[in-house]
A and B are shown apart, each in its own frame.
Chain A
Amino acid sequence: MDDASYEDFARARLPGLLRYAAALTGDPEQARDLVQDVMVRAFTRWRRISRMEHPDAYLRRMVTNAWTSWRRRWAVRAITVIPDEQLHNLAGDTPDTATTLTERDALRQQLDALPRRQSAALVLRYYEGRSYEECAEILGCAEGTVRSLCSRGAAAIRQALEHEAVPSLASTAWAKDSS
């Protein structure tokens, strides 16, 4: 097994993979554990993975699969407390901080409440800016399924935000993915 080749690859891809996992989970500790677990497993399969056309996409697929199959009950019990300072950082430099905090926190909560494949599709599509084809490769499904996952995820968030009376976000165009 080529340790050097694995290390070169892992070190180069680790930052992006961690950011992906953090966007997916919303929890840095879970992201750390998820990526660590995947990278250790990837090492044992490195001979095969290194011959793939897109090993990077395969690792994202491993992370996504690990995330979607991780014990749900554990995720439900894991309560992430977001410090005020972090919430302020989430708000960015906007004039109406209170409204933005409420909106973004509501959006964050709805992301966490989505079925995991839906949230993975949204992260790949909106955060990583991947094409439907790339999303499909990583999620291991058809492009049409990715479109459906994104659409249903967006609709679920929109519906929840409407229910929670956060109309400014609920009415935004992203919820109707037409791209």
Chain B
Amino acid sequence: MNDVLVDVLRDRADLAPDPDELWDDIRHGIDARRGRRRATVAAAGASAAVATAAITAVAIVPARSHQHAITAGGPRPAPASTSRPTAPGGPPTRAVVGRPARLVPVKPPAAAKLVLSFAPEGWRYVGSSPSSTAYSNHGGSPDVFADKVVLLYGAPTQTRYPLTIGTHRGAIWTSTGYTAVEVRLSATRALTMQVPPALALTKTQLIKMVGTATVRAGALPGRG
């Protein structure tokens, strides 16, 4: 065994993040997963809790072949207040603390199959799979959804879609660790956007984000 290799590996290990800080993220991830499970269970029942408030008028842009383009035509939302409420289930995480929830146009990444046209200021594309795309203000892996804005393409998860988003039906719900907006594209396909609640995006902003999202050819259904 060579000391140099051991030293290099030890030096790499010394770069390990603070366990206490990560523990907070793990708890957050566990809470989010519990929330998703509860949401799924709730959706299976007739009493699924979904938001029913009216939304601004939205219009659908005809999609190209094999694409779903949903464009919100409502008035541009005013910038959100800079005062951020605490996320349900715990304090704001490192990912969203102090970030203004103002939507800005973002250039859709060429490689992604699910893309946003608007994202919270300071949030950028971090990666994607054929069934998910992640945006973050702190980098990180696109495979870890906690504290990220995520687009998911898959089967519808809700039993009720009380909103109208373009020509599609939609639903918004909040769970521990995330707020979700789902657009039912067909009987078997839906586009879901998951955002950290601490961003405190208004319903209009959520509609605008998901309403201008695009599902490109090559997207494959999955749950991330």
Decide yes or no whether B142 CB sits under 8 A from chain A: yes
Decide yes or no whether B17 CB sits under 8 A from chain A: yes
Among the stretches A38-46, A47-55, A56-64, A139-147, the one at the interface with B is: A38-46
Within residues 1 to 59 of chain B, which ones have a CB less than 8 A from any CB in chain A? 1-2, 4-17, 19, 22-23, 25-26, 29-30, 33
Q: Could you tell me if B139 and A36 are in contact, using CB atoms closer than 8 angstroms?
A: no
Q: Could you tell me if B9 and A74 are in contact, using CB atoms closer than 8 angstroms?
A: no
Q: How many residues of B contact A (CB 8 A)?
A: 33
Contacts of A160 in B (CB 8 A): none
Q: Could you tell me if A15 and B12 are in contact, using CB atoms closer than 8 angstroms?
A: no
Q: Could you tell me if B140 and A29 are in contact, using CB atoms closer than 8 angstroms?
A: yes
**Given A33-B140, A33-B144: A23 touches B4 (CB 8 Å cut-off):** no
Q: Could you tell me if A104 and B4 are in contact, using CB atoms closer than 8 angstroms?
A: yes
Q: Could you tell me if B17 and A111 are in contact, using CB atoms closer than 8 angstroms?
A: no
Q: Could you tell me if A33 and B141 are in contact, using CB atoms closer than 8 angstroms?
A: yes
**Given A14-B22, A177-B1: A28 touches B9 (CB 8 Å cut-off):** no
**Given A23-B9, A40-B33, A89-B11: A174 touches B26 (CB 8 Å cut-off):** no
Q: Could you tell me if B6 and A126 are in contact, using CB atoms closer than 8 angstroms?
A: yes
Decide yes or no whether B127 CB sits under 8 A from chain A: yes
Q: Could you tell me if B23 and A10 are in contact, using CB atoms closer than 8 angstroms?
A: yes
Decide yes or no whether B70 CB sits under 8 A from chain A: no
- Distance of A169 Cα from B6 Cα, bound (Å): 13
B143 contacts which of A31, A33, A104 (Cβ < 8 Å)?
A33
In the complex, how many angstroms separate the beta carbon of A62 from the nearest chain B beta carbon? 13
Within residues 128 to 157 of chain B, which ones have a CB less than 8 A from any CB in chain A? 129, 139-144, 146
Decide yes or no whether A121 CB sits under 8 A from chain B: no
Taken residue by residue from 116 to 128, chain B's Cβ proximity to chain A (1 for < 8 Å, 0 otherwise) reads as 0000000000010
In the complex, how many angstroms separate the beta carbon of B94 from the nearest chain A beta carbon? 11
B33 contacts which of A31, A44, A111 (Cβ < 8 Å)?
A44
- Distance of A111 Cα from B25 Cα, bound (Å): 28
Q: Could you tell me if A111 and B22 are in contact, using CB atoms closer than 8 angstroms?
A: no
In the complex, how many angstroms separate the beta carbon of A59 from the nearest chain B beta carbon? 12
* Residue in A closest to B32 when the chains form the complex, CB atoms: A40
Contacts of B8 in A (CB 8 A): 90, 104, 107-108, 111
Q: Could you tell me if B141 and A126 are in contact, using CB atoms closer than 8 angstroms?
A: no
Contacts of A107 in B (CB 8 A): 4-5, 8
Contacts of A34 in B (CB 8 A): 141
B7 contacts which of A30, A37, A92 (Cβ < 8 Å)?
A92
* Residue in A closest to B7 when the chains form the complex, CB atoms: A92
Contacts of B19 in A (CB 8 A): 11, 14-15, 18
Given contacts A14-B19, A26-B12, 19 further A-B contacts (CB under 8 A): A10-B23, A23-B9, A23-B13, A33-B140, A33-B141, A34-B141, A35-B22, A36-B22, A36-B25, A36-B29, A36-B144, A37-B143, A74-B141, A92-B11, A104-B4, A107-B4, A111-B8, A126-B6, A173-B2
Residue ranges of B at the interface with A (Cβ–Cβ < 8 Å): 1-2, 4-17, 19, 22-23, 25-26, 29-30, 33, 127, 129, 139-144, 146
Residue ranges of A at the interface with B (Cβ–Cβ < 8 Å): 10-11, 14-15, 18-23, 25-37, 39-40, 43-44, 70-71, 74, 86, 89-90, 92, 103-104, 107-108, 111, 122-123, 126-127, 169, 172-175, 177, 179
Could you name 15 residue pairs across A and B whose Cβ atoms are closer than 8 Å? A22-B15, A22-B16, A26-B15, A28-B15, A29-B17, A31-B16, A37-B143, A43-B33, A86-B15, A107-B4, A122-B5, A169-B4, A172-B2, A177-B1, A179-B1
